[in-house]
């Protein structure tokens, strides 16, 4: 297993080359990524503690008590949870809750739900997966934990450092192909090494050989932080390397203005070509302002072509903005919702012991604990 010291050496190596590719980092990430913080091994080991290194890509802070935990756990089947919740608190997040030996936080509930929705569709036939902007590797961990795949993560140097640390701690027997391997390669970087490595973690300027075909591309809530020029470059990558019947999972905001640039980015304006069939299209789990879009590569026999669906998503975006503005104006409804939440928490407080017992039965089929 690669050592932490080696990871920091590779990070510094990547940082040196990053100066040739500064346009890869949006203004959004410039405020989070300070190289000095990322060169400290203690910070790496504790990268989720107070989000010292994971700020901007770690939603755990949004779930801070067992009352919230009880509600979200009930969305899932108990066997599914037992198989997919981590039993290690890698990064030492102080916002993750240790419950009956499992660690649970707000961020992971989205990854669990996304995986649950796509697993039966995608991964039985997907052998090579490429996740663009995978953060510290939370969704990747769930997928790798369930399926034998070759998994490629493409992200900025700081995120790659965190995801490599996070995944190597969860999968100590997996073989990692990192930026140093890419630079040392005397033959094409990925195809010739598919039998020798399991997880590939590389910065976005690395090139794939033209003949490499990816069975599934994934981007969740990171294209919305990019400008359209960067998004187009990633779509060029996807269109070039997607397999003939491959999938693309795209989960991003309906609309967001890029921080510091003022450019409005809308998911219905993403540069899809016409050779995609829509498999799932709906608002994302627990996030009304985010859309869940799963498409499959096709050249004929379309059931729901992407171009038609993007028009529908544009209408959804208009409706979402209209409803949002109405809710801002309707102060009475706002206070009704706030009052409901307070009453709900009071009721949950009085019944918390019974609720905890219910979750214990879900996870362990226990009557007492």
Mean pLDDT on 133-147: 96
Angle, CA of 113, 115 and 118, to the nearest 5°: 110
Give the pLDDT score at 287.
87
Output the pTM of the full model.
0.86
pLDDT-derived band at 329 (thresholds 50, 70, 90) equals very low
Give the pLDDT score at 369.
39
pLDDT-derived band at 190 (thresholds 50, 70, 90) equals confident
Residue 144 parent element (H or E): helix 138-146
Is the pLDDT reported for residue 129 higher than 50?
yes
Closest to 192 in 3D by CA, of 207, 209, 205, 204: 209
> Cα–Cα distance between 84 and 73 in angstroms, integer?
12
pLDDT-derived band at 53 (thresholds 50, 70, 90) equals very high
Q: Are 21 and 203 spatial neighbours (Cβ–Cβ below 8 Å)?
A: yes
- Phi and psi for 227 in degrees, rounded to 5? -85, 170
Give the pLDDT score at 71.
73
pLDDT digits (tens, 9 = 90+) for 220-249: 999 998 999 999 999 999 999 999 999 999
Q: Are 251 and 220 spatial neighbours (Cβ–Cβ below 8 Å)?
A: yes
Q: Are 202 and 31 spatial neighbours (Cβ–Cβ below 8 Å)?
A: no
Lowest-confidence pick of 10-14, 61-65, 110-114, 305-309 = 61-65
> Cα–Cα distance between 19 and 271 in angstroms, integer?
28
> Cα–Cα distance between 164 and 195 in angstroms, integer?
19
Burial group, residue 4, by CB count within 10 angstroms (0-12, 13-18, 19+): middle
Give the pLDDT score at 368.
41
Tokens of 276: 């995609």
pLDDT-derived band at 363 (thresholds 50, 70, 90) equals low
Q: Are 96 and 138 spatial neighbours (Cβ–Cβ below 8 Å)?
A: no
Q: DSSP letters of 147-208?
A: S--EEEEE--HHHHHHHHHHHHHH-TTSPEE-HHHHHH-SS-TTGGGTTT-SEEEE-TT---
Mean pLDDT on 305-310: 95
Q: Hey, which of 97-111, 162-176, 341-355 has the most confident mean pLDDT? A: 162-176
Closest to 245 in 3D by CA, of 269, 213, 222: 213
Angle between helix axes 157-170 and 138-146 (nearest 10 degrees) is 40
The larger pLDDT score, comparing residue 144 to residue 31, is at 144
Q: Are 106 and 282 spatial neighbours (Cβ–Cβ below 8 Å)?
A: no
pLDDT digits (tens, 9 = 90+) for 250-262: 999 999 988 777 8
């Amino acid at each position: 297993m690669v050592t932490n010291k080696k990871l920091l050496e590779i990070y510094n190596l990547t940082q040196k080359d990053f100066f040739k590719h500064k346009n890869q980092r949006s203004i959004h990430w410039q405020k989070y990524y300070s190289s000095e913080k990322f060169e400290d091994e203690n910070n790496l080991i504790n990268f989720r503690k107070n989000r010292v290194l994971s700020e901007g890509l770690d939603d755990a802070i949004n779930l801070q008590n067992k009352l919230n935990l009880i509600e979200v756990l009930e969305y899932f089947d108990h066997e599914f949870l037992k198989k997919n919740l981590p039993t290690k608190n890698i990064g030492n997040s102080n916002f993750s809750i240790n419950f009956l030996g499992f660690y649970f936080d707000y961020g992971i509930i989205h990854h669990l739900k996304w995986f649950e929705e796509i697993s039966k569709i995608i991964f039985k036939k997907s052998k090579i997966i490429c996740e663009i902007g995978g953060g510290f590797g939370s969704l990747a961990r769930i997928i790798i934990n369930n399926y034998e795949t070759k998994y490629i993560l493409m992200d900025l140097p700081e995120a790659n450092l965190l995801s490599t640390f996070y995944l190597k701690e969860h999968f100590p027997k997996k073989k990692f192909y990192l930026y140093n391997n890419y630079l040392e390669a005397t033959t094409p970087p990925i195809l010739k090494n598919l039998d020798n490595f399991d997880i590939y973690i590389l910065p976005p300027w690395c090139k794939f050989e033209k003949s490499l075909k990816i069975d599934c591309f994934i981007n969740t809530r990171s294209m919305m932080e990019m400008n359209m020029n960067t998004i187009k470059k990633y779509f060029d990558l996807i269109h070039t390397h997607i397999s003939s019947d491959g999938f693309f999972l795209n989960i991003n905001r309906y609309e967001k203005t890029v921080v510091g640039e003022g450019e409005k980015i809308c998911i219905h304006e993403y540069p899809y070509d016409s050779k995609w069939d829509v498999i799932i299209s709906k608002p994302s789990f627990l996030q009304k302002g985010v859309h869940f879009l799963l498409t499959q590569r096709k050249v004929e026999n379309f059931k729901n072509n992407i171009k038609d669906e993007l028009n529908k998503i544009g209408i959804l975006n208009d409706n979402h903005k209209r409803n949002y503005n109405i809710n801002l104006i309707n102060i009475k409804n706002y206070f009704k919702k706030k009052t409901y939440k307070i009453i709900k928490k009071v009721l949950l407080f009085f019944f918390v012991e019974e609720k905890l017992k219910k979750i214990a039965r879900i996870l362990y089929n226990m009557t007492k604990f």
